């Protein structure tokens, strides 16, 4: 019998990938499936970014790079953060990673162990809880409620802190809800955290460029009093349609940089060189394509939310950011998972049950609107027909 580390029993996954596998299986059988399940832009990476990677390869950038990432890329990140958030960031505090995920993986590994507690958003990105459980730390959900537009309430978060709390994970704009935390809540939270100097923060800001209706992103980097315990995660995947390139970064407290780089050396050595050059081109080149994508997401948001609200048994709050809508489906009298499966099998539309994102996701389903307006309209029509049918059968 093989003896595997028992922590493996606690490692979860992203169940969204199971939906995608089933959707692909149905497609192979010849079914027409509309995918509103996947959390990735349906656009191509802008051409000038692709060309920068091709040029890097032609120029001979084939070797290892420094584990922390090449300096020009870290400088480009610092300049971009200065431009977007009006903050000073030392390029030496920036650690380049193969995607956004490794920054959360390494932060949770660094802080989690049996006897410690980590707060995380629920419903939220499933990897947070999965990794917390893997380390043996106690996962403490921060319930994100529909009536608060899926934002946290600072007072509630602060009341969950104990002497055992090591790390608080925040994510705004959020996956799966599209919720954006208002500036006052962030301010209250930061003020309250001054009384808890033993607590670190991981702020997942991967959707920071995707905000709507004039909302402005408030990065936690804007609070200098938090810098010595803040890890800010961002990356290229969503903003520049670069999910498959695997490029992201963390801005780390100076005291932790050496530690996270040591983890990177032990794990992946470095991000591949051409991708890092592509990252520079993305940040320093024209932003028109990135802006066009956000405009397209906003247009689709304005289409999908009213349509969802017309579906029998659905109620959907306006998402403030990202590219997700998270309607309340409890009035359909079906559990989230059951409805997700019905919608996929009978209407040919892939969505993800709210429960894939935590216990507080029951009663909700996630729709990704990273798809064309035509597909969104057809998908909602098909779901409408299915729900009307089901109602007629049960009447």
Q: Cα 247 to the chain's mean position, in Å?
A: 14
Nearest CB to ligand PLP, comparing residues 40 and 148: 40
Site membership for ligand PLP, residue 368 (CB under 6 A): no
Q: How many residues bind ligand PLP (CB under 6 A)?
A: 13
> How far, in Å, CA of 138 to CA of 134, rounded?
10
Beta carbon of residue 207, minimum distance to ligand PLP (angstroms, whole number): 7
Nearest CB to ligand PLP, comparing residues 176 and 274: 176
Beta carbon of residue 224, minimum distance to ligand PLP (angstroms, whole number): 24
> How far, in Å, CA of 282 to CA of 286, rounded?
8
Interface of this chain with ligand PLP, residues 161 to 200, rule: CB under 6 A: 171, 175
Nearest CB to ligand PLP, comparing residues 122 and 204: 204
Nearest CB to ligand PLP, comparing residues 12 and 192: 12
Q: By the 8 A CB rule, do 150 and 384 touch? A: no
CA dist 360 → 159, 191, 225, 331, 355 (Å): 18, 27, 32, 16, 7
Beta carbon of residue 100, minimum distance to ligand PLP (angstroms, whole number): 3
Distance from the first to the final alpha carbon of the chain: 55
Site membership for ligand PLP, residue 131 (CB under 6 A): no
Choice from 42, 117, 133, 204 touching ligand PLP (CB under 6 A): 204
Beta carbon of residue 279, minimum distance to ligand PLP (angstroms, whole number): 12
Stretch that binds ligand PLP, among 50-58, 97-105, 156-164, 269-277 (CB under 6 A): 97-105
CB atoms inside a 10 Å sphere around CB 85: 19
Choice from 23, 202, 206, 271 touching ligand PLP (CB under 6 A): 206
- Longest CA span, the chain: 69
Stretch that binds ligand PLP, among 99-107, 270-278, 366-374, 377-385 (CB under 6 A): 99-107
Choice from 105, 111, 125, 223 touching ligand PLP (CB under 6 A): 125
CA dist 244 → 12, 29, 98, 236, 248 (Å): 22, 26, 10, 10, 11
Pairing mode, if any, of strands 248-251 and 230-235? Answer: antiparallel
Site membership for ligand PLP, residue 271 (CB under 6 A): no
Choice from 37, 69, 99, 319 touching ligand PLP (CB under 6 A): 99
158 CB burial (10 A radius; 0-12, 13-18, 19+): middle
Site membership for ligand PLP, residue 300 (CB under 6 A): no
Beta carbon of residue 371, minimum distance to ligand PLP (angstroms, whole number): 16
Nearest CB to ligand PLP, comparing residues 171 and 332: 171
Element (H, E) at 166: strand 165-171
In our burial notation (b when 16+ CB lie closer than 10 A, e otherwise), range 189-219 reads: bbeebeeeeebbbbbbbbbbbbbbeeeebbb
Choice from 165, 239, 243, 351 touching ligand PLP (CB under 6 A): 243
Site membership for ligand PLP, residue 235 (CB under 6 A): yes
Stretch that binds ligand PLP, among 94-102, 279-287, 288-296, 357-365 (CB under 6 A): 94-102
Q: What is the DSSP string of 329-382?
A: -GGGTS-HHHHHHHHHHHH-EE-EEGGGG-GGGTTBEEEE--S-HHHHHHHHHH
Report helix angle 336-347 to 373-394, nearest 10: 110
Choice from 39, 69, 354, 358 touching ligand PLP (CB under 6 A): 39
Site membership for ligand PLP, residue 100 (CB under 6 A): yes
Tokens (6 digits) for 294? 């956000």
Query: Which residues of this chain interact with ligand PLP, rule CB under 6 A?
Result: 39, 99-101, 125, 171, 175, 204, 206, 235, 237, 243, 248
């Amino acid at each position: 019998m093989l003896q595997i580390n028992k922590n493996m029993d606690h490692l979860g996954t992203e169940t969204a990938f199971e939906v995608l596998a089933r959707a692909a299986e149905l497609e192979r059988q010849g079914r027409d499936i509309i995918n509103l399940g996947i959390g990735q832009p349906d656009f191509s990476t802008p051409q000038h970014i692709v060309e920068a990677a091709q040029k890097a390869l032609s120029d001979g950038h084939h070797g290892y790079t420094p584990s922390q990432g090449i300096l020009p890329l870290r400088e480009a990140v610092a300049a971009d953060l200065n431009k977007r958030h009006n903050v000073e960031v030392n390029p030496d505090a920036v650690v380049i990673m193969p995607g956004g995920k490794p920054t959360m993986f390494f932060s949770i590994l660094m802080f989690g162990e049996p006897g410690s507690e980590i707060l995380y958003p629920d419903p939220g990105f499933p990897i947070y809880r999965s990794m917390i459980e893997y380390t043996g730390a106690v996962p403490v959900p921060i319930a994100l409620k529909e009536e608060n537009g899926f934002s946290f309430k600072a007072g509630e978060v602060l009341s969950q802190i104990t002497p055992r709390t090591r790390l608080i994970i925040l994510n705004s704009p959020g996956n799966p809800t599209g919720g954006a935390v208002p500036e006052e809540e962030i301010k209250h939270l930061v003020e309250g955290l001054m009384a808890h100097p033993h607590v670190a923060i991981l702020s997942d800001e991967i959707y920071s460029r995707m905000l709507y209706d004039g909302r402005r992103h408030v990065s936690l980097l804007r609070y200098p009093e938090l810098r010595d315990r803040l890890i800010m995660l961002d990356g290229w995947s969503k903003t520049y349609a670069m999910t498959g390139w695997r490029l992201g970064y963390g801005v780390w407290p100076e005291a932790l940089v050496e530690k996270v780089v040591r983890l990177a050396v032990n794990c992946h050595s470095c991000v591949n060189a051409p991708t890092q050059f592509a990252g520079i081109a993305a940040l320093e080149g024209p932003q028109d394509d990135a802006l066009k994508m956000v405009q397209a997401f906003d247009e689709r948001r304005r289409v999908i939310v009213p349509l969802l609200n017309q579906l029998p048994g659905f109620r959907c709050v306006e998402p403030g950011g990202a590219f997700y809508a998270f309607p309340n489906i409890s009035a359909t009298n079906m559990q989230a998972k059951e409805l997700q499966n019905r919608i996929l099998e009978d209407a040919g539309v892939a969505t993800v049950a709210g429960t894939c994102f935590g216990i507080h996701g029951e009663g909700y389903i996630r729709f990704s609107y990273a798809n064309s307006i035509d597909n969104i309209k057809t998908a909602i029509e098909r779901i409408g027909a299915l729900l009307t049918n089901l109602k007629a059968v049960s009447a």
